[in-house]
Chain A
Amino acid sequence: MTGSKILQVEDLRTFYVTPKGYVRAVDGVSFTLDKGESLAVVGESGSGKTTLGLTLMRALPRNATIISGSVLLNGKDILLTSLNEFREEYSWKVISMVFQGAMNALNPVIKVGEQVAEPLIIKGRLPKDEARKVAEEFIELVGMPKAFYDRYPHELSGGMKQRIVIAMALVMKPQILILDEPTSALDVTIQAQIINMIKDIIENLGLSVIFITHDISLASEIADRVAVMYGGELVEIGRLDQVLGESPKHPYTEKLLASLPRLRGDNIPEFIPGRPPDLTSPPSGCRFHPRCPFVVDKCKNEAPPLFRLNGEHHVKCWLRSG
C-alpha cells in the first residue's frame, strides 16, 4: 500500500453543550485515510460516528464544539482555517458529504437539478447552461434520467432522492466523500442497487470514501478498512479481512458480528446486553466494561490504549495487550 495519506485525523474531540452537561460525542479519535481507499466507520446509534462525519465536514450544529485535535487534508489542517475559507475552498470541492436522511437534505421548493447545479454556479463560477449540463451528467451517473433535473423533491421516491443527494455531493468532483447511512431509510432491494451504484462511482471517480453505518454487513460490501466506534471512541480499526475475519478482535466487535443473522447455519443471533453509555458521564476506564463479558478490574480503572495487533490492525482492549 503505497497510497499517500489523503486524510489524517489526530486525537479529535467534539462535544455537544446540553442542559445536562457536555456530551462527549467524539472523544479522542485518530485514524488515517489513504488515497483511493474506502474506510467504513461502524457503530451503534450514539457511538459518535455521525458526529465524526459532521466534524470532518465542519457541518456541526450550533451547540457542538470541536474541542481539540487536528484534521490534515492533503497535509493541511482544515480545522485551523476559518469556517468561511473552509466553505469556500474545501467544503464540497475537496471533501463532500452525503448526509443522513436524504429526504430532508433537499430544499422542497427548488428543482432537484438546480440543487445539484448550485455549487457549480456559485462556487465553480460556471454559467447556468454549462452547469446544467454537468449536473445532468451526474444525475445520469447516479442512474436517473436527466429529465429528472426539472423535478421537485416531493415527486421523487426515497431511493431517487438518495441518488440525487449523492449526485449533489459529487458534482464538484471532490477527492473525499463521506457517506452517512446512505441506505438506512430504504428497503432492501433498493439498498442493494444504491450500494452497487456507489461502488461503481467510487471506482470510476477514484474517490476516497468514509462510509458511516450501523450495519456491519453493509460495511463489508464497500470497505477496504473498517473502524469500529463505541461510546465516542475508536475501539478497533483494521483491514476488512482482519476486523471481520478470524483474528482476535475487540469484544464489542465480536458481539456485533455475533448479532448478525446468517442465511445458512443455525446459530441464533446474540444480542449485546446493557445500554449504550451515557456520554455526559461515560464509564470509567474502558467505556465498554459494563457490558463486556471479559471484563477484569483493570478495565474498570484504566482506559486501554490502541494496541497494535498485527500490521494495520489495532484494538483498544486490555485483553489484546500482549
Chain B
Amino acid sequence: MGIYTRLLVKVLSLAAVLLAVLFFVVVILGATGVSDKILNAIVSEEVRLYRQNVAPRLVDPVALEEAVSKYREELVRAYGLDRPWYERLPDMYLRVLKLDLGRAKHAQTFGGSNKISDIIAERLPNTIILVTTAVAINLLVGILVGVRIAAHPGTKLDRATSLLSAISYAIPTWWLGIMLILIFSFYLKFFPYGGLYSSPPPEGPLLKVLDILWHATLPISALVLANVGLTIYVTKTIVFNVAQEDFVNVGRVKGLPERLINRRYIMRAAAPPILTNVILGLAGSISGAILTETVFTWPGMGSLFFEAIIYSDEALILSLVYMFTLVYVVARFVLEVLYVIVDPRVRI
C-alpha cells in the first residue's frame, strides 16, 4: 500500500545516508593518517595487556621481548597496519558498523570500563532523556501558545511573538545555560551546577528520580527557553495560514461548531507542516544536546563529544560521529512515520 512503499523508500534513503556518511568519515580518517593513529593506539594497548599477562610466566627478559614482538607483528598484520590505508577501509568500515569501536583514551564508564561501546551504551539513555523531554515540552508549549496567538493576528501580542522568536533564534542555547547556572546555581543556589545526580545519590527510588529531575531542570529549561520562541512563531504562522484557507470557512458555514473546526480543520491540516518543522529542527536539537550537555556536565553523548575533543581521542570522535548520525537517522525515521500517519497526501 501507499504508506509502506513511501516508508520503505525513506528507510532506504536514510540508511544510505548513514552508510555514506560512515564511508566518507572513514575515508577521511584514512587519507589524513588519523586512522593509523587510532589503530596504532589499539595495537599498543593490546600489546601492553599481553605483556602484563605474559610477564609473570616468562621471567627471561629476552624471551619476553621476543614473545611481545611476535605478538605485535601478528597484531600489525591482523589490523592491516602494514598495508596502505585504503586496503584497510572495508575492515574498519565494517567494524564501526558492528559497533566494535575500540577503547577511549580517557573516558570511562561508571564501572570502570573504557571500551567505547560500553561508554556509549551508558551515556546514550541520558542524552535521549534530556533531548526528548526538552523537545516535548518545547512542542507542547510552542504549539499551545502558537495556536492561541494565531487567533489574534496583528495585535501587540503578535508583534511580541515576532520579537521573541527573533531573540530565541539569536540566543545560543549553551550560553543561556551558562547564564542560568550563574543566576540559579551561583547566586540563588536553587539548582545544582550540573551532573546527573548528587553525590552521594539519595536513597530510595522516588528520591532518586526527584534528584535527577532537580538536576535536569536547568538544562531542560535552557533547551526549552532558547527554542520555544521560534516554535511559537512558526506554529502561529502555520496555523494562521491554514485558518485562512477556504475549506475552513466552508466548515464554519456547514455549521460545524468552532471547537470541531479548530481540531479537525485547522489543527489537523496544520499538523503536517508543523511536523515538517520539527523534522527540520531535529538536527538543531542534536547540536543543542552536544553543547548543553557540555555546559551542564550532563553525562550523555554530547558531553562525551566535548571530552573527546579535549583529549584528542580520534577513536571516540569517530564513534560519536557514527552514533550521532545513527541516532539522527532513527529519530528522523520515527518522525517520518508520524508524518505519513498525519498527512494522507503523501501516501502515494
Q: Do chains A and B touch in the complex (CB under 8 A)?
A: yes
**Interface size grouping (class) on chain A:** 20 to 34
Binds A, one of B216-224, B265-273, B278-286: B265-273
Given A107-B265, A109-B343, A122-B260, decide whether A97 and B247 contact each other with a Cβ distance below 8 A: no
Give A99 to B250 CA distance when docked, in angstroms: 8
Whether B250 contacts A105 by the Cβ 8 Å rule is yes
Residue pairs across A and B with CB atoms within 8 Å: the count is 65
Chain B, Cβ-Cβ closest to A122: B256
Residues of B within 8 A of A87 (CB): 252-253, 255
Known: A106-B247, A110-B264, A168-B254. 20 other contacts (CB 8 A): A58-B253, A87-B253, A91-B253, A91-B255, A92-B255, A93-B255, A97-B253, A99-B246, A107-B247, A108-B247, A108-B269, A108-B345, A109-B269, A109-B342, A109-B343, A109-B345, A118-B256, A119-B254, A122-B255, A154-B345
Residues of A within 8 A of B251 (CB): 107, 118
Residues of B within 8 A of A91 (CB): 253-255
Give A87 to B253 CA distance when docked, in angstroms: 7
Give A91 to B345 CA distance when docked, in angstroms: 30
Tell me if A18 counts as interface (CB < 8 A to partner B).
no
Give A residues with C-beta under 8 Å from B: 57-59, 61, 87-88, 91-93, 97, 99, 101, 104-110, 118-119, 122-123, 152, 154, 168
Given A105-B247, A108-B247, A122-B260, decide whether A154 and B344 contact each other with a Cβ distance below 8 A: yes
Give A93 to B268 CA distance when docked, in angstroms: 26
Residues of B within 8 A of A105 (CB): 246-247, 250
The B contact surface, by secondary structure, is: helix
Give B residues with C-beta under 8 Å from A: 245-247, 249-257, 260, 264-265, 268-269, 271-272, 342-345
5 A/B residue pairs, CB under 8 Å, sorted by A? A92-B254, A107-B265, A118-B251, A123-B255, A152-B344
Residues of B within 8 A of A123 (CB): 255
Given A109-B343, A154-B344, A154-B345, decide whether A101 and B246 contact each other with a Cβ distance below 8 A: yes
Whether A110 contacts B268 by the Cβ 8 Å rule is yes
Residues of B within 8 A of A99 (CB): 246, 250
Give A107 to B265 CA distance when docked, in angstroms: 7
Partner of A104, one of B247, B257, B264, B343: B247
Give A322 to B342 CA distance when docked, in angstroms: 66
